[in-house]
Amino acid sequence: MDQPTLRQYALISAVAAVVTIGLKGAAYLLTGSVAILSDALESLVNLIAAVVALMALSAAARPADDDHAYGHTKAEYFSSGFEGGLILVAAGSIAYAAIRRLLAPQAIAQPGLGLAVSTAASLVNLGVARVLFRAGRRHASIALEADARHLMTDVWTSAGVIAGVGAAAVTGWRILDPLVAIVVAANIVRTGADLIRRSALGLLDTSLPDDARQQIQAVLDARAVDGVRWHALRTRQAGRWRFISFHVLVPGDWTVQRGHDLLERIEDEVRAVMPFSTVFTHLEPIEDPASFQDQRLDRPGEPVASPAPPRPA
């Protein structure tokens, strides 16, 4: 799947957000419930986040150029980080509205019809979230995955709101409405903080997860026969793209062609288990002690002696 298709998923999310805003807004007007209002506010955040994701995926789809030799895929991290921030803002707004209603509780009007409309909006979000989750996981798009997580948070939020508002309508305990809204705000804070954390780690070039590194190591271990060894495995991820580098040590009497052919086979095997990857390799003679001095991350360059000044004639 190419990036234009990924952008189409973000567009689907935006359309779904417009639909749910309309449904939840209607549910709030019917009931006057602050909990349902908080749910509608989160859907407004969903719309803004979907638009930002669409912009980020458009930027990430741009090809590499002279100023960005490794592409623009990190643009997705800005989208997910921004979405995490929006979630925190939504949580603050929900908490503020809930506290005001807690100080002055009000009865809920037409709860049955209002909750039916809210349930319909939640089903729309659930369907779109499942689609985005599959696309985000399959194609390693953190922007789509972040959008899906946000929508699933909205689904759970709506479930809590529906249960709380329904209980308040049945029991007549008006205080349940704002209390449910406060619980909703506390719950979505965790999702927002997690998105911001993951975006920050991506921008800091964090290594691939342990399970991904183990798959790469398994490929390299399978080739470590007949005097072949490897070391200095380093990985990072930029949006949906992975960058993998390692050194392969071979007997010094090998020809350049034989070493090159081995590296080509290893790179193909690594890309087979790690799609969307750029693989960098370095060939070294196993007998040379210098081949083992470049395993550290911080290998400083040797100082170069300045040439002696010319002697006067």
User: Is the pLDDT confidence value at 163 over 70?
Assistant: yes
177 vs 193: which has the higher pLDDT? 193
Res 306: pLDDT: 47
Neighbouring CB atoms inside 10 A of 297's CB total 6
Res 39: pLDDT: 72
Res 313: pLDDT: 52
User: Is the pLDDT confidence value at 291 over 90?
Assistant: no
Backbone CA torsion sign across 39, 41, 47, 53 = negative
Res 226: pLDDT: 83
Could you tell me what percent of the chain has a pLDDT over 90?
17
**pLDDT, average across residues 70-90:** 73
| Lowest model confidence (mean pLDDT) among 49-58, 211-220, 298-307 | 298-307
Query: Cα torsion at 30, 33, 37, 38 (round to 10°)?
Result: -160
b/e code 111-129 from CB counts within 10 Å (16+ = b): beebbebbeebbebbbebb
Res 86: pLDDT: 75
User: Is the pLDDT confidence value at 285 over 70?
Assistant: yes
131 vs 106: which has the higher pLDDT? 131
Could you tell me what percent of the chain has a pLDDT over 70?
84
Per the CB < 8 A criterion, the answer to whether 249 and 284 are in contact is yes
Q: What is the pLDDT of residues 203-231, one digit of tens each?
A: 777 788 888 899 999 999 999 888 899 99
Domains parsed from the chain with CATH numbers: 3-203 (1.20.1510.10), 210-292 (3.30.70.1350)
User: Is the pLDDT confidence value at 191 over 80?
Assistant: no
What's the mean per-residue pLDDT of the chain?
Answer: 79
| Confidence category of residue 1, pLDDT binned at 50, 70, 90 | very low
| Confidence category of residue 238, pLDDT binned at 50, 70, 90 | confident
User: Is the pLDDT confidence value at 258 over 60?
Assistant: yes
**What is the residue-wise DSSP string for the chain?**
--HHHHHHHHHHHHHHHHHHHHHHHHHHHHH--HHHHHHHHHHHHHHHHHHHHHHHHHHHTSPP-SS-TT-STTHHHHHHHHHHHHHHHHHHHHHHHHHHHHHS--PPPSHHHHHHHHHHHHHHHHHHHHHHHHHHHHTT-HHHHHHHHHHHHHHHHHHHHHHHHHHHHHH--TTHHHHHHHHHHHHHHHHHHHHHHHHHHHHTTPPPPHHHHHHHHHHHHHH--TT-EEEEEEEEEETTEEEEEEEEEE-TTS-HHHHHHHHHHHHHHHHHHSSSEEEEEEEEETT-GGGGSS-SS--PPPPPPPPPPPPP-
| Confidence category of residue 310, pLDDT binned at 50, 70, 90 | low
b/e code 160-176 from CB counts within 10 Å (16+ = b): bbbebbbebbeeeebeb
User: Is the pLDDT confidence value at 282 over 60?
Assistant: yes
User: Is the pLDDT confidence value at 247 over 50?
Assistant: yes
| Confidence category of residue 301, pLDDT binned at 50, 70, 90 | low
Model-level pTM? 0.55
User: Is the pLDDT confidence value at 8 over 60?
Assistant: yes
Res 268: pLDDT: 94
Q: What is the pLDDT of residues 94-126, one digit of tens each?
A: 777 778 777 777 777 777 777 888 888 889 989
